[in-house]
Amino acid sequence: MTTVEDALGRPDPVTAKRANRVAVHTFRPRRSWPALLVGLVVAGVAGLAAAEVISALIGRPFTGLPFQQAAEYAGEARWSDPAVQLASLVLALIGLVLISLALVPGRGRWLPLRTDDPALVVGLSRPALRRALSVAAREVDGVRSVQVRLGRRRVGVWAYTELRGDEELPDLLRQAVERRLADLAPLRELKVRTRVRYAKA
């Protein structure tokens, strides 16, 4: 039988899904450097074009760059020319690279956590997550030192112990890290892989 407290404490699936989408969107890494570089190039080209047009209108053509020669070459060029085809290929490749950079998210510095509330967005930095998992791993009996590495979908835990031949230690280590991950409740499921280096006999 379900109690009233359980029913009230259980989040609405639609609300929880919306909260997850908001958190993912909030902490989605931005591709700021490519956008800045493209913006600078476009601004430079637009500035040169504006300088050429304004200088021609006032009767003193801009002589800094060979605009006239470039215009003549463009008027005489044909699509079958190798130089035109090569330039088109290079520009198409640059465009594809920019589109892929815009569509594929980069590696974020923040890991969104589950809150089940669209009005509350919580994120944990990757160094903070490494520290939290390291503390959880060090609490396992017999562990002397720990190193944690984070991937996109995995957590690697390398531990050193002065014990010899304790075959249960890797499982205990994995369970401790998984419990800490469950407490933090990241939106993206992370698989834990452990490796233990034992003291030499």
Residue 168 lies in a domain: yes
Domain containing 174 equals 110-198
What share of the chain has pLDDT > 90, as a percent? 15
Number of domains in the chain: 2
* pLDDT score of 182 more than 80: yes
Over the stretch 2-60, which tens digit does the pLDDT of each residue have?
443 344 455 667 676 776 676 666 667 666 677 778 788 888 878 877 877 787 778 77
Residue 72 lies in a domain: yes
165 and 86 both lie in a single domain: no
39-53 exposure pattern, b = at least 16 Cβ within 10 A, e = fewer: eeeeeeeeeeeeebe
pTM for the whole thing? 0.58
In the sheet where 143-150 sits, what is the strand order? 143-150, 154-161, 191-198
90 and 161 both lie in a single domain: no
* pLDDT score of 80 more than 90: no
Which of 47, 72, 103 is the last residue before a domain boundary?
103
Determine the pLDDT at residue 62.
67
Determine the pLDDT at residue 136.
92
Q: In sequence order, what are the beta bridge partners of 197? A: 160
Q: Average model confidence (pLDDT) for the chain?
A: 78
Q: In sequence order, what are the beta bridge partners of 112? A: 123
69 and 120 both lie in a single domain: no
Determine the pLDDT at residue 4.
36
Determine the pLDDT at residue 58.
81
Q: In sequence order, what are the beta bridge partners of 125? A: 110
**Burial of 157 (C-beta count, 10 Å sphere; 0-12/13-18/19+):** buried
132 and 76 both lie in a single domain: no
134 and 81 both lie in a single domain: no
* pLDDT score of 99 more than 90: no
Q: Give 53 or 87, the one with higher predicted confidence.
A: 87
Least confident of 66-70, 91-95, 142-146: 66-70
117 and 170 both lie in a single domain: yes
79-110 exposure pattern, b = at least 16 Cβ within 10 A, e = fewer: eeeeeeeeeeeeeeeeeeeeeeeeeeeeebeb
* pLDDT score of 179 more than 90: yes
| Placement of tokens 């979908």 in the chain | 153
Q: Give 4 or 154, the one with higher predicted confidence.
A: 154
99 and 153 both lie in a single domain: no
* pLDDT score of 165 more than 80: no
Residue 11 lies in a domain: no
**What mean pLDDT is predicted for residues 88-109?**
79
